[in-house]
Amino acid sequence: MQQPAAATTAQSRAPDWNRIRLDFPLLTRAVNDKPLIYFDNANTSQKPVEVIAAVDGFYRRQNANVSRAVHALGTEATDAYEGARKTLARFMSVRADELVLCSGTTFAINLVAYSWALPNLKEGDVILVSRMEHHANIVPWQLIAQRTGARLEVAEILPDGSLDLDALYKAMTPQVKLLAVAHVSNVLGTVNPVREICRAARKAGIVTVVDGSQAAPHMALDVAAIGCDFYAMTGHKVCGPTGTGALWARRELLDAMPPFIGGGEMIKEVSFERTTFNEVPHKFEAGTPNIAGFVGLGAALDYLGAIGMDAIRAREAELLAHLTEELQRIDGLRIFGTAPDKAAVVSFLIDGAHAHDLATLLDLDGVAVRSGQHCAHPLLQYFGVAATLRASLAFYNTHEEIEGFVAALKKARTLLG
């Protein structure tokens, strides 16, 4: 039996990226009669055949609800679901019993907002967020501030798109009770020094929430070493199915937090007089979960592990350098985010061309990129622009695709005059 490409390359320690690319069926299709160039990976990643087969196999052979039946299918489904939790815990370098499975980063951050922040914050307290946050790490804190009387303060960035660390540390006053920060910016690609930031916050008695959505696809995670209190991630950006993700939190915080949503499976006993809640992490996992999705996520993380996250990061750095070099040769093109440490994300504009117009013309040439504000309105306001074009790469992209993308971009610019 032929081994998956990822396993073969891991054993040889020399990834064959062209062979790995063949594991992704969607990358072989055409769009508008042109070979697809998929550069929208920060939005969602493509899925290898192992993930598709795992989801399909679950529905064909194991489909049953978890933790609710003693029959064989129920046991198999539960084992598969809890196995995915263990796989995810290894991927994040955390304990499985501190990992709440949920629909993604947005849900995870809201869980922290309503189960930790709402009971603990009060009038006069400060929630500190960075300028580069995704709306999912801004809006929940605004809602909590409105309900508690706390206020939101902003940690600013520098012109190159990196955090102004000196200003951030000065902003860590005794009034700040919570700091929410992205590990990697979804617009700028900036990799924030979250370990250093969380160390400073801990000394100041500040609880930290790290949004890991854009970090998990690009680098090996050691959440325990980061030293944060909460870490959120999403599955569909790491080659897994949509509707999957997780919140890691310190066990003592999870034990003290009330449930976010009530229902089945998050309880031990229910009467009309009182309810006894389940153990952590299950007390935060009400209702029937996305079982097949998590089976697929487990397969995705096994796939990435077989390649090696260090190899993936090196490959993407190589692609990023090539893309950046090519874009810098285009007159009138401005890149947003030039921090020294970046993930493979490039947001840019070209003088005289609207981002949406360019994206529409690129699509006619089979190129998929993101245009707009990328769920980061305050960040684009800082740069004084209404929208940008974003090209985001993954390890299965190629240097040839970069050349094709740049050629299509130059053609689109010409058509726009």
Q: Which amino acid is located at 390 in the chain?
A: R
Burial 35-52 (b: 16+ CB within 10 A, else e): ebbbbbbbbebbbbbbbb
* Cβ atoms of residues 288 and 95 within 8 Å: no
62 with 80: CB under 8 angstroms? yes
Taking CA atoms, 386 is separated from 309, 327, 331, 346, in Å, by 35, 20, 20, 16
What residues contact 377, with CB distance under 8 A and at least 6 apart? 135
Tell the CATH superfamily of the 308-415 domain. Aspartate Aminotransferase, domain 1 (3.90.1150.10)
- The answer to whether residue 375 is catalytic is yes
| In the chain, where the domains are located | 54-305, 308-415
Distance between CA 94 and CA 56 in Å, rounded?
28
**What's the whole-number mean pLDDT along residues 317-321?**
98
Quick: pLDDT tens for 348-378.
999 999 999 999 999 999 999 999 999 999 9
Q: CB neighbours (10 Å) of residue 397?
A: 25
9 falls in which pLDDT band (50, 70, 90)? very low
* H/E run at residue 38: strand 37-38
Q: Nearest Cα to 383, choosing from 374, 393, 396?
A: 374
pTM of the model: 0.95
Pairing of strands 99-102, 245-249: antiparallel
Tokens, residue 125: 């307290």
Q: Which two tokens stand for residue 133?
A: 């946050």
Q: Which residues pair with 210 in a beta bridge?
A: 181, 231
Report the alpha-carbon angle 251-253-255, nearest 5: 70
Is residue 276 helix, strand or coil? strand
CA distances from 154 to 39, 207, 213, 311, 415 (A): 31, 16, 20, 35, 40
Banded model confidence at residue 417, pLDDT cuts 50, 70, 90: confident
Q: What angle do CA 80, 237, 179 make, to 5 degrees?
A: 105
pLDDT at 94 over 90: yes
Tell me which amino acid residue 44 is: T
Catalytic pick among 102, 198, 228, 375? 375
- Please say whether the dihedral angle defined by the alpha carbons of residues 316, 338, 45 and 108, taken in this order, is positive or negative: positive
CATH 3.40.640.10 fits 54-305, yes or no: yes
CA–CA dist 175, 173 (Å, integer) = 5
User: Would you place residue 5 in the very low, low, confident or very high pLDDT band (cuts 50, 70, 90)?
Assistant: low
CA quadruple 237, 240, 242, 247: dihedral positive or negative?
Answer: negative
pLDDT at residue number 6 = 54
Whether the CB-CB separation of 342 and 186 falls below 8 Å is answered with: no
Render pLDDT for 282-317 as a digit per residue (tens, 0 to 9).
Answer: 999 999 999 999 999 999 999 999 999 999 999 999
Kindly report, residue by residue over 150-193, the tens digit of the pLDDT: 999 999 999 999 999 999 999 999 999 999 999 999 999 999 99
Find, among 410, 305, 300, 303, the residue nearest to 362 by Cα. Answer: 410
> Is 250 in contact with 198 (CB distance < 8 Å)?
no
pLDDT at 70 over 90: no
